[in-house]
Structure formats: C-alpha cells, structure tokens
C-alpha cells in the first residue's frame, strides 16, 4: 500500500506499490496491432488529426493497447467497435477537462448537440470529425444484433455518460471536492464505465442472461469493476487533475471527508481498491452455485461465467495500461504547445 508521505502526486506514483496484487488475470488480444492499424486508418479517414504531431500524441496514449487488454476475447468486429468507442469517449472527455465551472452552460450546449444524434435530429451546418465519428458509432450500435433490453440500457448509458460531462463542469462551481455519494454517481458517468461494460456483450457477441445480470452479486460486481477502475485512474491522474483544478477525484473527496493529509487519502483509496477486489473475488466464486440454484442451462451458465471473467479482465487489463501510458505519466509534457488539435473542435461546436 502507498504509505510514503514523501512521494508527491506525480510520476513517482506510477512506480510505487499502491494496492498490491489484486489477483486478477491479464492477457492481451493477439490481434491488437492489426486492430490498431484499422482504427488509425478510420481516424485519419475522418480527418481527425490536425497535424502529424497530433497523430503522434494520440498514438502515444495506446488506447488500442488498452482495448486489447480489457477485451481479449473479442472478434475483429468487436475489437473495431471497442476501439472506435474508446477513442471517441476518451477524446470527448478531453473536450471538457480543465475548463472552469462557469463553462458548464456551454458544456451543456455541446452535450445537447450530441444527444440530438441519439434522438435522430438532423445536425445543422458542417459536421466536425468528432461528431461525425459519434454518429457512425451510434448508427452501428443501433443496428447491432442485440436484445431490446441491451439496446435500451445502452441508449440510457450514452445519455448518462454524455450529460455527465456538463454536470462535472457544474460541480466545480462549489470550489470543493464532491460528497462521496455525489462523487460515485458522477464519476461512474464521467468515466464512461457503464458503456465500457455494455461493450463486453457487444464485443463478445454473448449477452449475460438477464436473471443473472440483475442478480445482486452480479450487480455489485459491476459496480465494483467501475469503482476500482475509477479509483485507480483517480490516484494515477491526481497530479494532472490537481494542476487543472478538477475535483471529480476519490482522493480529493476522501481528503475532504476525512480531514486527512493527501498522502493519507491516497493510502485510504488504495486500501479501498484492495478491499473491493477481495469482495469481487468472493462474489465471483459463488457465481456457479447461483446459476445452479436458478436452474440455468449449461449455455446460460457459461455466458454468466464469461461475463464475470470479462469484468475481471477490465480490472486486470486497465492497471498496466494506465501505468505505462503517457496520457497519464506525462500528461502535460507530451502535449506540444500551441497546436490546434482537430479533436478539440468538437467542444467549440454546438
């Protein structure tokens, strides 16, 4: 656990022992590189990068490497869907990072323009690359051969996560970290984790049986997955967010609530990550018995077990990617100055 008060939030955290070995397996998709090439071709085809430097900066993040680590079971179509959605969600989030609270009205205007795409309203004027990409992603998700329940949930999650961008800006008006309950509700949206978990079924081509999907242990496992990934991200992006004045971070919430030092808040967060991981493992171990008790068929049980495996892969695959990605390690140094990035134009578009 993190217990060194002399280590300040920053690059040193990436090499510190934080939450220890959580016991979750890691693997990487064997076709990650070819999927990366397809995704970059798609982005360049949309005129996504304003310059070669913008292209280099985006590629340094290795988002496709993240996708390969957290969806190792996907087929090629699933990988492409995950890469496109991950690129969009990450870059759309960047439109709002660092903006002050008094931009929340403008943020809401931008969000509404993307909700118009979901609602099928025509988009007026020239369509910037980021919005064109989202429209393509949305059309693909809408046409996917998934159940009506999955489609309804995915639609609701897109609205939840997109609107969270504006709510995050509005939360800055208080000038204080969020209360724990408000943090959890907002953070699950700003991280897009509900959508990343929807992609488990879309990418894998198998839906978790609804009677299991809504079983209390599995619902808790979903929340644990979201929270562990978000807490990890909050710890390792703390230096970036503090420099920008953002407050949607579990470490800052913990420091405020406990009235403790920053180092103590980091340590408490790391302990919470480890505790949540232990609880996840306990719940997963009981899943076969739960399926048997509900009379699920062998095929349904296999789908439920795969879903738990996929949740675990999200946790196990996320940590090594974030620790190595310059998106977090060199959050400020990696971005060349005075560049007008093509993907920033989306925030200026209404």
Q: Given this model, what pLDDT does residue 335 score? A: 55
Give the pLDDT band of residue 50 (cuts 50, 70, 90).
confident
Q: Which whole number is the average pLDDT over 251-276?
A: 95
Count CB neighbours of 2 within 10 A: 20
Q: Are the C-beta atoms of 26 and 317 separated by less than 8 Å?
A: yes
What does the pLDDT read at residue 344?
A: 47
As a whole-number percent, the residues of the chain with pLDDT over 70 amount to 89
Is the confidence at residue 224, as pLDDT, over 90?
yes
Residue 11: predicted pLDDT: 61
pLDDT number for residue 118: 97
Greatest C-alpha distance within the chain: 61
Is the pLDDT at 252 greater than 80, yes or no? yes
pLDDT band at 122 (very low <50, low <70, confident <90, very high): confident
Q: Which residues contact 323 (CB under 8 A, 6 or more apart)?
A: 14, 236, 329
Convert the pLDDT of each residue in 176-209 to its tens digit: 899 999 999 999 999 999 999 999 999 988 999 9
Residue 102 has pLDDT above 80, yes or no: no
Mean of the per-residue pLDDT values for the chain? 88
CA distance 291 to 121: 43
Note if the pTM is more than 0.85: yes
Helix (H) or strand (E) holding 28: none
State the pLDDT at residue 334: 52
Q: What percent of the chain has pLDDT over 90?
A: 67
**For 273-288, what is the mean pLDDT?**
97
User: Poorest-confidence range of 60-64, 152-156, 174-178, 258-262?
Assistant: 174-178
Distance (Å, whole) CA 100 – CA 119: 29
Mean pLDDT of 106-112: 91
**Spatial separation of the C-alpha atoms in residues 211 and 163, rounded to whole Å:** 29
DSSP codes joined into one string, 184-247:
HHHHHHHTTHHHHHHHHHHHHT-PPPHHHHTSHHHHHHHHHHHHHHHHHHHHHTHHHHHHHT--
pLDDT digits (tens, 9 = 90+) for 299-346: 999 999 999 999 999 999 999 999 888 888 765 555 545 444 444 433
What pLDDT is attached to residue 52? Answer: 82
The per-residue pLDDT for 242 is: 84
71 phi, psi to nearest 5 deg: -130, 55
pLDDT of the residue at 56: 86
More confident residue, 326 or 40: 40
Number of other residues whose CB lies within 10 A of the CB of residue 313: 21
**Confidence band (pLDDT; 50, 70, 90) for 221?**
very high
DSSP string, 59-118: HHH-HHHHHHHH-TT--HHHHHHHHHHHHHHHHHHHTTTT--GGGHHHHHHHHHHHHHHH
């Amino acid at each position: 656990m993190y217990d060194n008060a002399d280590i300040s939030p920053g690059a040193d955290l990436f090499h510190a022992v934080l939450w220890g070995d959580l016991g979750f397996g890691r693997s990487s998709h064997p076709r990650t590189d070819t999927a990366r090439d397809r995704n970059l071709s798609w982005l360049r085809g949309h005129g996504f990068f304003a310059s070669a430097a913008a292209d280099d900066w985006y590629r340094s993040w290795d988002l496709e490497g993240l996708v390969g680590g957290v969806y190792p079971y996907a087929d090629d179509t699933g990988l492409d869907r995950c890469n496109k959605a991950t690129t969009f969600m990450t870059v759309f989030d960047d439109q709002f990072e660092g903006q002050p609270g008094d931009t929340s009205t403008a943020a809401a205007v931008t969000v509404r323009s993307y909700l118009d795409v979901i609602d099928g309203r025509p988009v007026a004027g020239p369509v910037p690359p980021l919005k064109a990409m989202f429209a393509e992603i949305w059309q693909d998700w809408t046409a996917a051969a998934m159940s009506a329940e999955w489609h309804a949930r995915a639609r609701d999650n897109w609205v939840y996560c997109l609107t969270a961008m504006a709510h995050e800006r509005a939360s800055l008006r208080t000038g204080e970290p969020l209360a724990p309950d408000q943090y959890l509700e907002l953070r699950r949206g700003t991280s897009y984790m509900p959508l990343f978990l929807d992609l488990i079924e879309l990418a894998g081509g198998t839906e978790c049986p609804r009677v299991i999907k809504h079983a209390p242990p599995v619902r808790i496992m979903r929340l644990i997955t979201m929270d562990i990934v978000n807490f990890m991200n909050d710890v390792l992006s703390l230096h970036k967010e503090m420099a920008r004045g953002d407050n949607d971070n579990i470490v800052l919430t913990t420091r405020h609530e406990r009235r403790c030092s920053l180092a103590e808040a980091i340590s408490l967060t790391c302990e919470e990550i480890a505790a949540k991981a232990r609880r996840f493992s306990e719940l997963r171990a009981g899943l076969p018995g739960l399926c048997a008790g509900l009379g699920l068929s062998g095929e349904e049980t296999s789908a439920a077990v795969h879903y738990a495996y996929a949740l675990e892969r999200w946790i196990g695959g996320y940590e090594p990617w974030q620790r190595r990605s310059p998106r977090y390690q060199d959050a400020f140094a990696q971005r060349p100055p005075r560049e007008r990035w093509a993907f920033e134009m989306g925030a200026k578009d209404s």
